[in-house]
A = this chain, B = another copy of it.
Amino acid sequence: MNKKKIINDPVYGFINLYDDLIYELIEHPYFQRLRRIKQLGLTHLVYPGATHTRFQHSLGSVHLIQSAINTIRSKGHDISEEEARAVKVAILLHDLGHGPLSHSLESKWADDYNHENLTLLMMHMLNEQWEGQLEMALQIYQNKHPKKFLHQLVSSQLDVDRLDYLRRDSFFTGVSEGVIGSDRIIKMLSVKDDQLVVEAKGIHSIEKFLIARWIMYWQVYFHKTVVSAEQLISRIMQRAKELLGKGVELPASEPLLYFLNNRYRDDTREGMVRMFSKLDDTDLDVAIKSWSENHDRVLSTLCKNMLRRNLFKIRLQKEPFSDGQVQAAREEAVKMLDLKRDELDYFVFTRSITNKAYSLSGDQIKILYKDKQVKDVGEASDMLSLPVLSKIVKKYFLCYPGENNTIL
């Protein structure tokens, strides 16, 4: 086979794919679909450069995992060719199950399926098409493979997923605070007692990585304007479902209507996945343009606001908003928008977001010392303290219409 296997990537320069199976999987429509799923959903409304996709991120993750495999092997730990391929396949496909605009909307598509379930389902189907060649990748993805550290490379608090997305999201948003030394971290990886560990001289890179992740959360992922935009698209989907539920007809693409109308409930798993594999960001984009002229004033207003980037005003605070605060915002909105009471909930509402830099439960990041001792990073770091690191930060926000959110 004469396949081009070098890919230009603005983040790493060149990505080499040394494996034909990887290359064939990339060509599958399931994977090509990720070209139409932006990595950061609506974040480009705040950071215009952030139009990068899950397609790029998945390739970048394979690149990093190849490098990690080489490093770990060079330190005397065995990874067979078959295992190497499997771990690459697992990371390549780890984002298959992401729906359009990812996190903010994912729970909306099909009741019981979060994106991990969907990924798994799609991997199983690919495994059938490739006649079992993805068996070990599935094991690793589900942490059923005897070498636990392979799963940790794919999914843990120091997996290549995070290493790639932090660096890539920094690159495309232009937020230099998130730049991490992924090269150095990977060079410091090793294995001890079947656990992924970081050599002690890499401790500062890990500190930096944890901090960078924290900062990216607050500066980008939870940027208040991003949160506001996600709430807007969420309200749009909610209103569309409500109208469809009442029997109103809405123009939209077939896969979008399929999910909004809950048709998957009467369908087979295979049917659902087939339809899901045709759903991406562009279905929402086209629907919003069309709905911006709908008869329903709530839906058309919300969609017009999206098209004009006329987002909700948003206020964040550490305490829940009192009923009085919410009520005051509602009164203000009523004056401004001439809405019915039951429509108001689409324009004034409160929710919360939470984050912590590091989780104390499960797969903590382990530091390996020269004397073979292993410590948790929270214990090993002079700078970071476990209580601070693992503290959950919760913020409440209130959304309400700005000056131009008038019903037109």
Contact = CB atoms under 8 A, between A and B. Distances in A.
Interface of A: 6-11, 13-14, 27-29, 32, 35-36, 38, 44-49, 51-53, 55-56, 59, 171-177, 179-181, 183-184, 187, 204-205, 207-208, 211-212, 214-215, 218-219, 251, 253-255, 278, 280-283, 285-286, 289-290, 307-310, 357, 382-385, 388, 393
Which 4 residue pairs of A and B lie closest in terms of their CB atoms, listed nearest first?
A: A10-B174, A282-B282, A282-B285, A10-B49
B290 A8 contact: no
Nearest to A26: B309
Nearest to A188: B6
Given A13-B183, A27-B308, A51-B51, 6 more contacts: A9-B174, A32-B307, A48-B56, A49-B52, A51-B53, A207-B215
A27 B289 contact: no
Contact of A48 (B7, B282, B309): B7
Contacts of A172: 10
Contacts of A179: 176, 179
Nearest to A395: B382
B56 A211 contact: no
Contacts of A181: 175-177
B184 A205 contact: no
A308 B32 contact: yes
Nearest to A48: B56
A285 B174 contact: no
A254 B10 contact: no
Contacts of A218: 204, 382
Contacts of A281: 282
